[in-house]
Amino acid sequence: MASSKAEFLFAILILAPLLGFLANGLRWKSKNYMLAGSIATAAAGTSFIAALAIVMRLFGEGAPKAVTADFFQWISIAGLEVPVSFVIDHISALMVLVVTGVGTLIHLFSIGYMSHDERPTKYFAYLNLFLFNMLLLILGENLVLMFVGWEGVGLCSYLLIGFWFTDKEKAAAGMKAFVTNRIGDAGFLLGMFMLFVTFGSLGFSEIISKVAGLAAETGWTGPITLAALFLFVGATGKSAQIPLYVWLPDAMAGPTPVSALIHAATMVTAGVYMIVRLSPLFILAPNAMMVIAIIGAATAVLAATIGLTQFDIKKVLAYSTVSQLGYMFLACGVGAFGAAMFHLVTHAFFKALMFLGSGSVIHGMHEEQDIRKMGGLAKYMPLTYLTFFVGWIAIIGLPPFAGFFSKDEILWFAFSSPHGSVWLWLAGFVGAACTAFYMTRLMALTFWGKPRFDEHHTHPHEAGPSMTIPLVVLAILSAVGGFMGIPHVIGEILPGHPGNWLEHWLHGFIAVPAGETHGSAVMEWILMGLSVSIAGLSAITAYFFYVKEPSVVERVKNRMGRLHTLVYNKYFVDEIYFAKIIDPIVNGSKALWAFVDVNFIDRATFVAGDLVKGIGSTARTLQSGNLQQYALFIALGVVGFLAFLFELRASLGKLLMQAFGG
């Protein structure tokens, strides 16, 4: 009975958004945003409650390590078993609550945000479909099911980025996202194949039980290392890491709540989640781990520097997201899977908050996204300002808000883990400095200083409760969310000595790197102090630059000259991709078509055809009209045919024997 009830709850959890999708999708022409939004939000909320009900079972004495539900066998061929079964353990519990919880808030926010849109019903249908696929991704007990969700969320991302498809740019951004993700997906597929060929299974628990006790691979070509690297290629696509991050900034073409839900809080973290889920596998491939750490650190810094120069409020947040995802991969790469998960959760809170805040700003400013045309909005939109302020403190890593705890844990592990190094820590440190700078710049240009828009024409205003309630809830979470992972050094000096709850919660579910950690408690305090001071210092500098002495900014820009142009243009990565990869492929394909298909293969065929024609015209001279000659030919033909029929086999065989000595 107990297990069938679990199945019932899982069915509600997963099917509610699907039903919401169908309910809205089948009446997609309706313009009633309130009805559509209510259906969709109710569906998301139902999922959240069901998820909560399942997660509750994991608490208490004698609680199971995981709740599972099996439905039916999807594919079953000669050893390849792909059951439709789901699992909520301590890892997916965190994720499912974030996705359905933050998801519900963003659905609610969307009701207000999309109230003026022409096709709100379609929008909400897509949003629910996304949630459904995201749940498959998180809860699936095997890699195939995860892949189904993985591609499904990519599809919904495509649909929502290109939601306003009459705009060519937006449609192009959708396609770019899908194709870039597909490159990653190809890697994911290869990783899966590698695992299946090696372990004969694609189930998470089965793979993990099979790798348990295996020795770590030292080289680059071992099956686990290759599988880990292929899967990481998949992660770079979905989670926007170097070299596949280019789609995420363009993805801001979609409606802003979509950016919050898909392109900040949930879908883009799927790569991190996948690695954490398979951490016992990844830990056996130290070389792959090293690659992940380096790519993560590099992405964190690169994206943060681009963020310093952008003027589109959403673009700044997008690059910030890429950068923060880089931190999560850095954590995975040094074996701090718990820290990665921690940052994933807190980032979901404060980045969703900031995206929704930016949505509120854009909504209030009548679709204006350029922060050069804002300023002084604190006065007009106090609630948005206040909540955004909380998000700002959280992301730049000032205690005691959420980002401080999670980012600091990552920095500490980057330094102290057996896989870590002082260079990885330094990259994270530089990234943190940049983050504090560009975020303060964003605050300053948007909310502080004097308004730079025409106050007679634009009347910024606070939106209704459907948009403000989610902001407040997320602000609270961003403020207190960090307390789930208080580091030991701090816990010791606090009254009551709170432990690190998250670490305890994930214990036994994620791999822990073997080997010695370096660094002491004193060192941890010093590094913590350093990162907090650099964040504070950066923030103060940015405040000085953008609020007190705007003239300095121009002077610095001029001094930097070329460097500024390079960074402002995002290092020309898109241009390089087009010139060096995409255009050559398109032109090469045109050449293949023109030269191989039309000119080579077809021409060869025609030459052969002409040859036959030539023989034919020679043969025509035989048609003389002489009856006797005809009779002779016929007789010869019959004899020849008979001889052919009866001797064919013998002669052919003989011929072969003689000619080729068989």
List interacting residues with other proteins (CB under 8 A).
Answer: 73-80, 144, 147-148, 151-152, 155, 158, 162, 165-168, 171-172, 174-175, 178-179, 182-183, 185-186, 189-190, 192-194, 196-197, 585-586, 588-590, 592-593, 596-598, 601-602, 605, 609, 645, 648-650, 652-653, 656, 659-660, 662
Q: Pick the closer one to other proteins by CB: 148 or 265.
A: 148
Q: Least distance to other proteins from the beta carbon of 118, Å?
A: 10
* Lookup: tokens for 58: 């994991």
How many whole angstroms separate alpha carbon 359 and alpha carbon 367? 9
Smallest gap from Cβ 22 to other proteins, in A, equals 12
d(CA 294, CA 292): 6
CA-nearest of 296, 292, 290 to 327 is: 296
State the nearest-atom distance from the C-beta of 173 to other proteins, in Å.
10
Q: Which is nearer to other proteins, 154 or 357 (CB)?
A: 154
632: which 2 tokens? Answer: 């002779």
Of residues 549 and 602, the one with the C-beta less far from other proteins: 602
Q: Give dist(CA 369, CA 246) in Å, integer.
A: 20
**Closer residue to other proteins, CB minimum distance, 199 or 429:** 199
Nearer to other proteins, 201 or 305 (CB): 201
CB 97 within 8 A of CB 58: no
The CA distance from 292 to 329, in Å, is 6
Residue with smaller CB distance to other proteins, 558 or 617: 617
Q: How far is the CB of 357 from other proteins (least distance, A)?
A: 30
How far, in Å, CA of 609 to CA of 588, rounded? Answer: 29
Instruction: State the Cα–Cα distance between residues 168 and 161, nearest whole angstrom.
Output: 12
Q: Tell me the closest approach of the beta carbon of residue 293 to other proteins, in angstroms.
A: 25
State yes or no: cis peptide before 400, omega within 30 of 0.
yes
Question: What's the burial of 238, exposed, middle or buried (CB within 10 Å: 0-12/13-18/19+)?
Answer: buried
Rounded-to-integer distance, Cα 85 and Cα 83, Å: 6
**Which residues does 295 contact at the CB level (< 8 Å), separation at least 6?**
232, 236, 241, 242, 326, 329, 333
**Closest distance to other proteins from the beta carbon of 372 (Å):** 29
Question: What's the Cα-to-Cα distance from 285 to each of 17, 144, 275, 433, rounded to whole Å?
Answer: 38, 22, 12, 31
Nearest to 453 by CA among 540, 386, 362: 362
- The least distance separating other proteins from the CB of residue 125, rounded to whole angstroms, comes to 12
Lookup: tokens for 204 = 């998470």
In this structure, are residues 187 and 230 in contact, taking their beta carbons and an 8 Å threshold? yes
| Residues 6+ positions from 482 with CB-CB distance below 8 Å | 346, 394, 400, 401, 402, 403, 404, 405, 406
Pair of tokens at residue 612: 């036959």
Which residue lies nearer to other proteins by CB, 11 or 179? 179
| Min separation Cβ 579 and other proteins, Å | 18
Secondary structure element (H or E) that encloses residue 85, with its range = strand 80-88
User: Whole-number minimum distance, CB 148 to other proteins, in Å?
Assistant: 4
Rounded CA gap, 257 and 263, in Å? Answer: 9
Question: Count of CB atoms within 10 A of residue 533's CB?
Answer: 10
By beta-carbon proximity to other proteins, the closer residue of 21 and 405 is 21
Residue 28 CB: number of other CB atoms within 10 A?
A: 15
CB of 145 to other proteins, least distance (A): 9
Pairwise CA distance, residues 437 & 487, whole Å: 26
Whose Cβ is closer to other proteins: residue 63's or residue 80's?
Answer: 80
570 DSSP assignment: G
- Of residues 401, 397, 425, 399, the one with CA closest to residue 411: 425
Q: What amino acid occupies position 428?
A: G
Closest alpha carbon to 471 in 359, 574, 395, 637: 359
For residue 77, how far is the Cα from the chain centroid? 31
Question: Closer to other proteins at the Cβ: 575 or 597?
Answer: 597
Compute the distance between CA of residue 662 and CA of residue 643 in angstroms, rounded to an integer.
24
Among 303, 340, 342, which Cα is nearest to 417's?
A: 340
Q: How far is the CB of 151 from other proteins (least distance, A)?
A: 5
**8 A C-beta contact, residue 369 and residue 359:** no
> 215 or 619: whose CB is closer to other proteins?
619
Q: Which is nearer to other proteins, 63 or 596 (CB)?
A: 596
Task: For other proteins, give the closer residue by CB, 537 or 586.
Answer: 586
In the bound state with other proteins, the residue whose beta carbon lies nearer, of 139 and 371, is: 139
Q: With respect to other proteins, which residue has the nearer C-beta, 184 or 420?
A: 184
Nearest approach in angstroms of CB 578 to other proteins is 14
Least distance (Å) between residue 387 CB and other proteins: 35
Q: How far is the CB of 149 from other proteins (least distance, A)?
A: 8
Listing DSSP states for 484-513 in one string gives GG--HHHHHHSTT----HHHHHHTTTS---
Minimum distance, C-beta of residue 172 to other proteins, in the bound complex (Å): 7
Smaller CB separation from other proteins, 596 or 631: 596
Closest CB 155 distance from other proteins, rounded Å: 6
